[in-house]
Amino acid sequence: MTRQELFEQIKIKQSFLCVGLDTDLNKIPSHLQKVADPIFEFNKQIIDQTADFAVAYKPNIAFYEALGPKGWESLQKTLDYIPKNIFSIADAKRGDIGNTSGLYAKAFFETMDFDSITVAPYMGIDSVSPFLSYENKWVILLALTSNEGSLDFQFSELKNGKPVYQEVLEKSSKWGNPDNMMYVVGATRGEKIGEVRKIVPEHFFLVPGVGAQGGSLEEVAKYGMNSRCGLLVNSSRGIIYAGKGTDFGTEARKEAKKLQGEMEVLLNQYCY
Amino acid sequence: MTRQELFEQIKIKQSFLCVGLDTDLNKIPSHLQKVADPIFEFNKQIIDQTADFAVAYKPNIAFYEALGPKGWESLQKTLDYIPKNIFSIADAKRGDIGNTSGLYAKAFFETMDFDSITVAPYMGIDSVSPFLSYENKWVILLALTSNEGSLDFQFSELKNGKPVYQEVLEKSSKWGNPDNMMYVVGATRGEKIGEVRKIVPEHFFLVPGVGAQGGSLEEVAKYGMNSRCGLLVNSSRGIIYAGKGTDFGTEARKEAKKLQGEMEVLLNQYCY
């Protein structure tokens, strides 16, 4: 999917919602446990109910990988079921030396046909560039995460006065461009998103941590939006586990619709 | 596997060789292409021929992941075939927020039963600690890699005068201990390994980059060895693709034996 196409979807749906498919066999309703592929059946119903309000779906690969080969089959079926006009994100946080990253790119862009994959920056340019060689595919690079451990290295101050995450943004933004790279930017610190926006004004940000992880959507939009929205804000548990019984689909729909409504207001306030 | 058991295997075999199973369908001999599972059949014969000389096997997970669910089945069969007294390494370079890292740990330590997994440090403590909660399992954390991109962030100088990789070593060594953590330390810069050894004197290092990637085994041993060896040195392509035809197994055996012979000399020179 191109940046233009993504922006058009955002305009059509008045939404920059990404639904995180962190689908856990222990958390899906009991009536689904009896079907042949409970993970896929759950995802299918979540997608049916939320596709009107979501511009992206983000399966968290660990949840599928933990189930062995069967999990990968559920993932493939889920990906095939995501409508083609909705952006798909493999939240895999891969990254290795060049030829190995090339194989991860093959896994997620050829064997599977994801639009994008999250990538870790520690190993530098050759761990990222193989993903950038695919047309209309995207790298979503970890820049500033919102977990506890983000304080360990991402904020370490360099001799040049910059924190490590800033060095990651400045260097990596030259490896690709706003048409094939996005950044993971955590939502727990609103003003930090503003600082990142100044460094990379054009790139899309994938923002985890709104909802269950505690960030404020209003702050994210205020500090992070650019003239083409430039945001995909993820919610996983808050949507997919909104209902615990046979109503899980309609409850997920309500939550997604609610977030879309808030996003519509923010788009009109900060973007158009 | 415990550190004591690993060290005993090193003493018994007089070797610190890790064989990298970077098994590529396009590179394995044509006579194997017809069997039901060429990847597993190739690995099986490589293991049969090299188990006398290797103390560790390291499947590079990208090679299996690129093949979809079938690849994961080949990986599982390969892992099951590795003798229990040989250390197994999932070279996966995973790392995510706490609960997601917990699922990656489940994937590699429960769904599969690897002894260890390589992990990326960028997201900090909660991305690493879930792997450390398993008894007799190991995290092998990326510290200093030997690829081109290692220069992008790992060597950036911090305000305190230390390079980023040193901060990674110093902080992360407090999250675990030498009985459940190792470090990936690249071999292309011999004297750098000596610097890392001073920071973490007791930890094992997994050293890629000897052979095809160009490091010198002599330098690695001279600068990196401690009194309990403290090294696992990997060779992938140099061993598994030593022969291109029906002789690939015996050619791999010759290469592994040759490396073991060199390692025996170095163990007696620098360790005992």
Res B272: pLDDT: 79
Show the DSSP H helices in chain A as ranges.
3-13, 38-50, 61-65, 69-81, 98-106, 125-132, 150-153, 164-172, 190-199, 217-224, 237-240, 248-270
Per residue in B185-198, pLDDT tens?
A: 997 777 899 999 99
Kindly report the nearest CA distance between residue A112 and chain B, in angstroms: 8
* ipTM tops the 0.85 cut: yes
Distance, CA of B22 to CA of B125 (rounded, Å): 29
Using one digit for the tens of pLDDT, what is the confidence trace for B1-25?
999 999 999 999 999 999 999 999 9
Element housing A110 (H / E):
none
Q: Name the residue of chain B whose CA is nearest to A144's CA.
A: B123
**3-state secondary structure (DSSP) of residue B88:** strand
pLDDT at A187 > cutoff 90? no
Best A96, A142, A185 residue to mutate vs chain B (most B CBs within 10 Å): A96
Amino acid letter, A120: A
Is A254 labeled as catalytic in the residue annotation? no
Domains and CATH numbers, chain B: 3-270 (3.20.20.70)
How far apart are the CA of A210 and the nearest CA of chain B, in angstroms?
A: 15
Share of chain A above pLDDT 70, in %: 98
Q: Which of B76, B96, B167 sits opposite A93 (nearest CB)?
A: B96
pLDDT on residue B213: 55
Q: Residues A28, A34, A39, A40: is their CA dihedral positive or negative?
A: negative
* Residue A166 pLDDT > 70: yes
Catalytic residue among B11, B27, B44, B93: B93
pLDDT digits (tens, 9 = 90+) for A31-65: 999 999 999 999 999 999 999 999 999 999 999 99
Residue of A nearest to B154 (CA): A122
Give A212's pLDDT tier (boundaries 50, 70, 90). Answer: low
pLDDT, greater one: A267 or B214:
A267
pLDDT over 90 at A92, yes or no: yes
Q: Do A124 and B157 touch (CB under 8 A)?
A: no
- The yes-or-no verdict on residue A149 having pLDDT over 60 is yes
Average pLDDT over residues B40-44: 98
- Check A127 against B149: CB less than 8 A apart: yes
- Note whether A125 contacts B149, CB cutoff 8 Å: yes
Determine whether the interchain pair A94/B93 forms a contact, defined as Cβ–Cβ distance below 8 Å.
yes
What's the length of chain B?
272
Residue A104: half-sphere exposure toward Cβ, Cα within 13 Å: 32
pLDDT of residue B187: 76
Mean of pLDDT values over B173-184:
98
Residue A138 in tokens: 């995207």
For residues B146 and B251, the model is more confident at B251
